[in-house]
Every structure is written in structure tokens, then in C-alpha cells.
Amino acid sequence: MVVEQLRLKVPSDAVTAWLEAERGSWELWLAQQPGFMRRQLFWDPERQEGTLLIYWASREQWQATSSEEQEQVQQRFELLARAGTGQEQGNPFPLIFSGELLPQ
């Protein structure tokens, strides 16, 4: 098993928009991916950051996901995020960190 770890900038006034954008894009796509196990979302009010932990059965299955599909899902996420925040362009929740965790 491997855990994909992502951190995003999520201001306190946009937490609901972030969660709704996640539900309308990544949550749906991930549920269809081979090897996807589960996902947890956290929000840190001090740092104004969202953390996502995405559990995969194997690193190979995680890495085998289509980059083209990921780009399409990211575009949908950003569209929903802009609608939820009122931002006209760009990504309202930019990626700060991407990594992986291995269970011990």
C-alpha cells in the first residue's frame, strides 16, 4: 500500500467551495480507479491548507492512472472551484506539496 499526500492552499472562507469541488471532480474519478482504496481530507485553519491522503493498493496502480484523465479531472475541479469562490481564472486552490507515504 502507498498513500499519496497532497497539500493545497485553502483559505478559511473557501473551505466549503474546496470540499464541493473535490466531491464534484476527484472523488468521482478516484472511485473508478483500479487500486484506489480510500481518501481522507483535512483542513488546517492555522496554515489555511487542505491536506489530502489518498490510499492506493500499490504504487504501480497509482502511477498507472492516466495523466490525460487526471488533467481533465483537474480542469473540472478548477471550474467547480472558481464557480464556488467567484474567482474568474486560474486555480483557487494551488498545490503546495505532493508526495507519498509508506506504511511501516
The predicted pLDDT at position 29 comes to: 98
CB atoms within 10 A of CB 12: 8
What is the rounded distance in angstroms from the CA atom of residue 96 to the CA atom of residue 47? 11
End-to-end CA distance of the chain: 10
Give residue 6's identity as a one-letter amino acid code.
Answer: L
**CA distances in angstroms from 85 to 15, 103, 104, listed in the order given:** 10, 36, 39
pLDDT average, residue stretch 36-52: 98
Quote the pTM value: 0.94
At the second CATH level, the architecture of 2-90 is: 2-Layer Sandwich (3.30)
Per-domain boundaries in the chain: 2-90
Span 22-48, average pLDDT: 98
